[in-house]
Amino acid sequence: MNLDKTNSRVQRMFGEIAPKYDRMNHLLSLNVDRYWRWRTVRLVPPRGAAPILDVCTGTGDLAFAFHRRSRGQAPVIGADFCKEMLAIGEAKKQRRGIRDDLSFIAADSQNLPFPDNQFQIVSVAFGLRNIADTDQGLREMARVCQPDGQVAILEFSMPRWQPFKGLYGWYFRHVLPRLGQLLARNREEAYSYLPDSVGEFPSGDALAQRMRQAGLQHVRFQPLTLGIATLYMGTK
C-alpha cells in the first residue's frame, strides 16, 4: 500500500480536525498520551539555556511539556506546517499566560528554517510518520541539533505481547477509526489514516537504524504502555 502522505493532503487532513484534535487524542488514548509526553521530557530532560525545537508540533502539547520541564530556562519553539494547528497552540499559550520563551512558527520539517547545530533537543511526537520523506525529516532534525544534543521521537507502535497484541490490533484497526471518524467528521478520514500510517511505518530496530543513518549515535528506544507507543532517543 502506498499511503498518500503528500504535504497538501496531510495539511488538509490535520487542518480539518484541528478544532477537535486535543479532545480526540485524550479521549481515544484514555488520557495516556499525557503520560507519554510526561515520560519523554524526563527521559530526555532539558539542560541549561540552549533552545529546544519540537517539530510537527501540532497544537504544541510536547512543546508545552518541555517548557514546563525547563522552568523557563530554555526557549522552546514548536514548528508545524499546519497553520490551523498552530493557531490552537498559540491560543493555548495565551490562556496559560506563557511569555516569549515559547513560540510557534510555520515550517516544513523536511526543510527547517534554522542554522546547523542550534538546539539542545529536537523532538517530535506522533508526527514523524506523517512526513512524506522520513529520512529527510530525520536528517533535518539531526542537522539543527547541537553536537552532543538529543533527538527524541515519540511514536505509535504495535504491541508484541499476546493476547494484548491481538486485542489492541483489533481496536486500533476497527474501533478507533470508526469512533474517531464519527466524532471528528472530517472528509480526509484522519482516523482511518492513523492505523494505516502506523502499520507501514518502521518501528523498533528498523527506525533506530534509520536514525543512525541520519547521523545519530547511541540510539536506543523504550516501549511505553505495553508497546502502544515507543520513545526513540539518539545523540548527535
With respect to residue 183, please indicate whether it lies within any of the assigned structural domains. Answer: no
With respect to residue 169, please indicate whether it lies within any of the assigned structural domains. Answer: no
With respect to residue 196, please indicate whether it lies within any of the assigned structural domains. Answer: no
With respect to residue 173, please indicate whether it lies within any of the assigned structural domains. Answer: no
With respect to residue 177, please indicate whether it lies within any of the assigned structural domains. Answer: no
pLDDT per position as a tens digit, 30-70: 789 999 999 999 999 999 999 999 999 999 999 999 999 99
With respect to residue 171, please indicate whether it lies within any of the assigned structural domains. Answer: no
Domains of the chain: total: 1
- Written as nine digits, the cell of 195 is 492505523
| pTM to 2 decimal places | 0.93
With respect to residue 51, please indicate whether it lies within any of the assigned structural domains. Answer: yes
With respect to residue 33, please indicate whether it lies within any of the assigned structural domains. Answer: yes
pLDDT per position as a tens digit, 123-180: 999 999 999 999 999 999 999 999 999 999 999 998 888 888 888 888 878 887 777 6
Host domain of residue 108: 7-159+202-235
pLDDT of 137 reads: 98
pLDDT category at 201 given cuts 50, 70, 90 is confident
Q: Do residues 158 and 169 touch, judged by C-beta distance below 8 A?
A: yes
Q: Which CATH number fits the domain that encloses residue 26? A: 3.40.50.150
pLDDT of 155 reads: 94
